[in-house]
Amino acid sequence: MPLADLTFHRWRALDHHAANRHAHEAARKVGGRVVEVRTVTHLGAAFHSAVIDQGGRQFALVPGGDVTVGFDLDRWQPTPEQLESYQTETLAGGFGFATDLRDHLAEVLSPLRTVTVPTVLVALEPEAFTTAFANMPALLAERGLRLSSPDEWEHACAAGAGTLFRWGDQCPLDRSPYEAPDGPQRQRNVLGLRIAYDTYQAELTSDPSAVHGGDGGEAECGGYGTLVTWLALATANRNPAMSEFLHGDDGESMYEDFSARPVLDLN
């Protein structure tokens, strides 16, 4: 099977030898080298992750095709502890959030959907902005890179997991992400990406209306409540309020506080 036909679903069915072969083919396409191909358990089965070095930056091979992204609110059931956090911390704070937790999630999470994304290499680490958002695409293009799309970002973060967070539906509610240096957000995802790990971070994508992986510390600093603070790291959270602020006049000087996750195409 040529690399052009590699999809996420086919990748999950490969044995280690075949995955290693595809990783080396991808590395040759971009003039890079394979750093590692490892096999772990993910979604109840063996899953391979491949890391490729190109030009001194490390990338994860992220197979695409038709994939499911977004969040299924109809399937999700909040725990009593999550509801209590939202009601006693967030609603009691009078911040203007929706009275019903599901209504709040519907406002900030992208809906469940099937999309088609290419097989690409995605940077293991985000890259800090050094200029205004409008200049980033051209600067990345000079290096053969581009911004990820929101669909690509969500797919790379979740790697097929349909849970609220990339690690599951639950989060520690006795402390915020900032107060949990040993929390699940600090572990790299199954593809090796350091992603959705710090609420003070925020990654911009090719869509100005989507900010992923954090809210720039808004919920933490604003005291919005523990659950809402963790929700800034939810895979499908596009942080619409932060995006609206960032792309307004008041946010023009804040780009150095944000980052992007470069994508290297394989075509």
pLDDT exceeds 80 at position 256: no
Phi, psi of 183 (to 5 degrees): -75, 170
Q: What is the pLDDT of residue 247?
A: 65
Task: Provide the residue ranges of all domains of the chain, joining segments of one domain with +.
Answer: 66-114+127-265
**Mean per-residue pLDDT for 190-201?**
96
pLDDT, tens digit, for every residue of 15-53?
A: 999 999 999 999 999 999 999 999 999 999 999 999 999
Confidence category of residue 135, pLDDT binned at 50, 70, 90: confident
pLDDT exceeds 80 at position 255: no
Of 193, 188, 191, give the one whose Cα is nearest residue 50: 191
Residue given tokens 């895979």 in the structure block? 235
| Rounded to 5°, angle at Cα 156 from 79 and 106 | 40
Confidence category of residue 250, pLDDT binned at 50, 70, 90: low
155 by DSSP, 3-state: which? helix
Phi, psi of 182 (to 5 degrees): -105, 15
Predicted TM-score (pTM) of this structure: 0.95
CB count in 10 Å sphere of residue 185:
23
Please tell me the least confidently modeled range out of 13-27, 28-42, 128-142, 236-250. Answer: 236-250
* Residues in CB range of 215: below 8 A, 6 or more apart: 199, 202, 232, 239, 242
pLDDT exceeds 70 at position 1: no
- The whole-chain average pLDDT of the chain stands at 93
The residue ranking higher by pLDDT, 256 or 212, is 212
Q: What is the pLDDT of residue 2?
A: 77
**Percent of the chain clearing pLDDT 70 (strictly above):** 95
**Mean per-residue pLDDT for 71-77?**
95
For 264: left if phi > 0, alpha if psi spans -120 to 50, otherwise beta; the answer is beta
Cβ-contact 252, 234 below 8 angstroms: no
Task: Show the beta-strand stretches assigned E in 78-237.
Answer: 113-117, 120-123, 127-128, 146-147, 203-204, 211-212
Residue given tokens 């490390």 in the structure block? 58
Confidence category of residue 252, pLDDT binned at 50, 70, 90: low
Q: What is the pLDDT of residue 132?
A: 78
pLDDT, tens digit, for every residue of 92-115?
A: 999 999 999 999 999 999 999 999
Q: What is the pLDDT of residue 241?
A: 78
Dist CA 156 CA 79 (whole Å) = 27
